[in-house]
Amino acid sequence: MEDKNGNIWFASSDKGVFRYDGKTIVNFNEKEGLGENYAGGIAQDQIGNMWFTMKNGICKFDGKHFTEYTPKDGLGGTDFWGIIIDQSGIVWVTARGSTTRFDPSISNSKAFTVFTEKDGINCCVQSMYQDKSGNIWWGASSGLFRFDGKRFYQVKQKGPWS
């Protein structure tokens, strides 16, 4: 992904994340504080923090320090894949078995809300996108989903979104 400063970020399955500024490639990995060397999804929040999914959680990089969040902190599921930061600053993370809504402005366990199949979303979310109206769309193995603020609904040919 390209960040707000024009740097290109990319992830690897065994060497952490890399940043390319047009001249130099810098590697960030466990030695620098990244939670682990397996990285996947990448997103940037409104104030410039970089966020990465890892096999066992997510990690925020503020340009100097890494902060790791795992299921012990409140994330749901295992094998974390997708990440998107919505227009309000909420971090959405997909994993095997769940989707987690994380509000980083709250500093306790209430910052995390875990959604599972009982909330209408199934396993294996493969993509997320927020449209210009603020709606977030989830592409999963069983189809397209939208969140109404409380639960997920599968998009069908006729529905409240048409």
Give residue-wise pLDDT tens across range 19-65.
Answer: 999 999 999 998 888 888 998 899 999 999 999 999 899 999 999 99
Over residues 5-31, the mean pLDDT reads 95
Which residue, 80, 52, 49, 46, is CA-closest to 62? 49
Per-residue confidence (pLDDT) for residue 48, from 0 to 100:
97
Which residue, 103, 159, 100, is CA-closest to 125? 100
Per-residue confidence (pLDDT) for residue 78, from 0 to 100:
84
CA distance 139 to 160: 18
Per-residue confidence (pLDDT) for residue 91, from 0 to 100:
97
Per-residue confidence (pLDDT) for residue 74, from 0 to 100:
94
Q: Which of 47-51, 93-97, 125-129, 156-160 has the lowest mean pLDDT?
A: 156-160
Please state the pTM of the whole predicted model.
Answer: 0.90
At a CB cut-off of 8 Å and minimum separation 6, what does 108 contact?
none
Give residue-wise pLDDT tens across range 96-121.
Answer: 888 999 999 998 879 999 998 888 88
CATH (one of 3.30.70.260, 3.40.50.970, 3.40.50.2020, 2.130.10.10) for 40-154: 2.130.10.10
Number of C-beta neighbours around residue 40 at 10 A: 18
| 124 pLDDT above the threshold of 60 | yes
Average pLDDT along the chain: 90
At a CB cut-off of 8 Å and minimum separation 6, what does 73 contact?
57, 109, 112
